[in-house]
Structure formats: C-alpha cells, structure tokens
C-alpha cells in the first residue's frame, strides 16, 4: 500500500539533538511500514520514477504501508529524518554532512548514491564574466543546502567577502526554488546557484545563461559530484535490515531501468513531479535537465568529503569526522548477487 502526504513547509535548519534521541534513534516498532522522503527536484529523479511506478510499495510487499513525503530542500528533510517522520531519504551531500555532524554520527547512514551533476550558477544577460558578479544579488535554495555551500565556496575562492545576512561583495539570499524562478523573472535577483529542473527553467524560460557549471569545479573526480544520496536512519538500518535491503533493490532496479530507457524515465519523472507540485514542466525543460544528470548508485564519496571541507571553509560547518557515515554492505551484497562490481567507500580506501 502506498500513501502520499502533501509537500511540507520549510523548517529551520537547526534541529535539537533531543529530537534525534527521542525519535530517529529509537521508537516503537512500526510493523512493515516505510516512509521515504525526497525533494521535488529533477535531481531526485530516481525517487520520482520509483514513486511514480510504485516501486517502493512493490518491494516492501502488499502487507506493508509505504508513505512518501516531498520537501523543498535538504535541511528540511534531515529534520524529518531526525524526528522519525521519515525512515529513508534522498538528500544532497551538505544536508547529509550536517545531519551527521549535528547527531554526532548517530542519526543516519548513506546506503547508496542516486544522482551526480545537475547544478550550476545561472545569471541574467549582461553578466558575462565571473568578475561581473561583484555587487550582484544571487540566490540559493536554502542556507546550508548543497547549492548554497557550492556558491559560498566558489565566492570565497574568488576572494570575495559575504555573510549569511546577505551582505558583502555580493549578496547571497536563500529562497525556495519556486521563489527563485519568480524573483529572477521579475529582475529581483541577478542569478542563482540551483539544481535541476530550476536551472533549466531559468535558461529556457527566462533568458538566463549558465555562467558556472558545477561539473567544471570538480576536476579531481572527472566532473562527477554527488547531488543526491539515499540515506536511512541509523536505528532503522539496525532494526530493519531486511526492509532496507528491499528498498535498495527497488532503488537499484529503478536506476538501472532509467539508464536503459532514458526517454521513459524522463516521462515518468515529469509526470510524478507534476503530480506532487501541481505544475507540469515543458518537455524541453525536462530534457535539458536530464542531459546534465547522471544516475548512479555510487555515492561518489570523495566529492562529499570535499563538500564537508567547503562547508567548513565558509563557516557553515565545524570540522567533522565522517568515518562511519557510509553503510554500503547491503548495496554491495545486492551488486554481488547480480555479478556486478562492488562500490568502494571511503573506509575501504584508508
């Protein structure tokens, strides 16, 4: 059985550790239930497609109740994971790192990758060079989310001053993705560092141009960088490994199917996004967004570790030890069953 809940309002980034202790780290057994959360972005297309196809409910079985919730930005979804509102979540690297750090490594585990790519800085006509960004107003989806950290780190590399209140050599103003698109169309902001499909919307619908493709900022990984991972609550993984295995099987099969049939995947993702947001993207926008994305169960761990360093460098994260964040054994068991190569996490690299 599959149940849907409506899109949630934004929550504060900070979450009390008391909430972690009371919910995500323990609680009554919920039978065969599973709640999965994801963001309403094309960067979370594997979740969109799996939700559209009922893959999670099929994997858990007819006696299980599978609930799906959608969110605007990663920090909100981490809060829901902390509170026990969701058991598994598709989230970006920086919310993953923040959740790990806030809970001292107790709240969550990365069990698989999902998406690489699909983010960048889109600006208005007249901004033709990076130096033209001084004095502009730029937006990101939420303070501390993956694109917010990416923009702040990029600005720091240029030697620019900025703060979390929107001051400095350039003003960085977090807004929800839909608000960013409207603000750009109205000329209220000069650009935004944001994920797909909102990136392609600014390009195709509002005469923006891509000044910085984030893939170009990752030469050490050949342009690959993690945009979304599949994480589960640590207690949920310990208590219900069989359910996590079935969730992973659904995820692995979905990613395989998407890569084998990209046109079908685009249609399914677009249909599901329209259902949960109430607005349908033009086919050309979805096609543009998919062209910038790679779907993989490899979590691209080196890029997440680098992302933690970036967040530290711009003052959004204290130094954090990520040892133990990845729990790839269940995924590797499934890959071995299929006769496929194992994925090496950072622990094995040591």
State the sign of the Cα–Cα–Cα–Cα dihedral 198, 204, 206, 212.
Answer: positive
Range with the poorest average pLDDT among 25-29, 156-160, 208-212, 230-234: 25-29
Query: Which residue in this structure is represented by tokens 């694109």?
Result: 147
Query: Which residue in this structure is represented by tokens 């609550």?
Result: 233
Checking if the pLDDT of 2 tops 60, the result is no
**Residues 51, 21: contact at Cβ < 8 Å?**
no
Q: Which two tokens stand for residue 14?
A: 């900070």
Chain mean pLDDT for the chain:
88
pLDDT on residue 300: 95
**Three-state DSSP string of 221-266:** HCCCCEEEEEEEEHHHHHHCHHHHHHHHHHHHHHHHHHHHCHHHHH
Checking if the pLDDT of 270 tops 80, the result is yes
- Tell me the sheet residues that pair with 4: 68
pLDDT on residue 240: 95
Query: Each residue of 192-207: pLDDT tens digit?
Result: 999 898 999 999 999 9
Phi, psi of 65 (to 5 degrees): -105, 115
**Residues 38, 88: contact at Cβ < 8 Å?**
no
Phi, psi of 329 (to 5 degrees): -60, -45
Mean pLDDT score, 319-339: 96
Q: Output the pTM of the full model.
A: 0.85
pLDDT on residue 31: 52
Name the strands in the sheet holding 226-233, side by side, starting at the edge strand that comes first in the sequence. 2-4, 66-71, 34-39, 88-91, 226-233, 108-117, 293-295
Percent of the chain whose pLDDT exceeds 90: 76
Query: Each residue of 164-185: pLDDT tens digit?
Result: 999 999 999 999 888 999 999 9
Full set of structural domains in the chain with CATH: 2-118+224-349 (3.40.190.10), 119-221 (3.40.190.10)
**Residues 120, 210: contact at Cβ < 8 Å?**
yes
Query: Each residue of 104-150: pLDDT tens digit?
Result: 999 999 999 999 999 999 999 999 999 999 999 999 988 888 899 99
């Amino acid at each position: 059985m599959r149940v849907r809940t409506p899109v949630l309002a934004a929550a504060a980034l900070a979450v009390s550790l008391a909430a972690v202790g009371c919910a995500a780290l323990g609680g009554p057994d919920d039978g065969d239930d599973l709640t999965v959360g994801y963001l309403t972005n094309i960067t979370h297309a594997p979740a969109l497609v799996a939700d559209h196809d009922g893959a999670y409910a099929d994997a858990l079985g007819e006696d299980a109740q599978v609930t799906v919730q959608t969110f605007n930005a990663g920090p909100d979804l981490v809060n829901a994971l902390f509170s026990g509102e969701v058991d598994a979540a598709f989230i970006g690297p920086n919310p993953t790192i923040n959740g790990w750090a806030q809970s001292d490594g107790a709240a969550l585990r990365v069990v698989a990758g999902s998406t690489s790519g699909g983010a960048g800085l889109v600006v208005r006509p007249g901004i033709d060079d990076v130096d033209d960004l001084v004095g502009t107003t730029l937006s990101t989806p939420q303070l501390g989310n993956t694109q917010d950290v990416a923009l702040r780190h990029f600005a720091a590399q240029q030697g620019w001053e900025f703060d979390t209140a929107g001051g400095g050599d350039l003003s960085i103003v977090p807004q929800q993705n839909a608000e960013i698109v409207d603000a750009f169309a109205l000329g209220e902001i000069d650009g935004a560092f944001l994920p797909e499909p909102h990136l392609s919307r600014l390009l195709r619908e509002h005469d923006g141009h891509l000044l910085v493709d984030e893939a170009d900022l990752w030469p050490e990984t050949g342009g690959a960088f993690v945009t979304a991972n599949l994480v589960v609550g640590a207690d949920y993984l310990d208590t219900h490994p069989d359910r996590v295995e079935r969730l992973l099987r659904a995820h692995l099969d979905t990613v395989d199917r998407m890569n084998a049939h990209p046109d079908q995947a685009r249609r399914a993702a677009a249909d599901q996004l329209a259902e949960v947001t109430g607005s349908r993207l033009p086919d050309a926008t979805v096609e543009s967004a998919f062209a910038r994305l790679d779907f993989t169960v490899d979590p691209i761990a080196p890029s997440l570790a680098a992302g933690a360093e970036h967040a530290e460098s711009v003052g959004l994260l204290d130094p954090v030890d990520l040892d133990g964040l990845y729990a790839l054994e269940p995924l590797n068991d499934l890959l071995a069953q299929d006769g496929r190569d194992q994925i090496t996490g950072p622990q094995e690299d040591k």
